[in-house]
Structure 1
Amino acid sequence: MQLEISLTVRALCLLVFCATGLLCTRGEEIHRLAQRKLCADEECSHPISMARALADYTAPDCRFINIRQGQIVYIYGKLKGKGRDYWQGTVSLRHRALPPQCLV
């Protein structure tokens, strides 16, 4: 009796696991933002500079940060490569990438 219950539970778990795998779609691959990162220190823990947002910026994905006009942004690193330049900064304790064009 105990063995039958154990096998039934295992079979149900396997069925749920497989069904979930079939229903889920694979995540979209996100390209790397840069080959190099320039920072003030090795851990990028000290700000390089401070800037004020010239305009609102809505992040296209989770790697970027939303910025509102007038917000102060602390810049910790500059990402370089592939014809794109992004800065790594903090707004309201959120640390992510942002385009330098929206800052002064």
Structure 2
Amino acid sequence: MFKLFNRIPSISTNQLEKELNNKTVLLDVRTGGEYRQGHISGAKNYPLNKIGQYKNKTNETIYVICQSGMRSKRAAKVLQKKDYQVINVRGGMNQWNGKVRGGKL
């Protein structure tokens, strides 16, 4: 079903930290290089330029994060059009205060 002007739900990084668990689907839509510099444990790297190819049979909510929240919002719109339940993480990694894996952030 096509939804016009559908708002993308969003949460803060603090709210995301409370939501994270083993089953949370978290997509990091930054470039591979940015991802390797530091990412949230369990996040899957799926760069924005490839998000249109994303396929997952999950009916779970997908959380989307980038560096500042702009690319993730664009990615969330693409995923929402593909009928995924999506939540954008406002402020992205710039606002994340939790632990990271990989390089220094």
Q: Do the structures match in fold with TM over 0.5?
A: no
Higher strand share: 1
Higher helix share: 2
> Which TM-score applies when normalising by structure 2?
0.25
Higher relative contact order (CA 8 A, sep 6+): 2
Structure having the higher Rg = 1
> Which TM-score applies when normalising by structure 1?
0.25
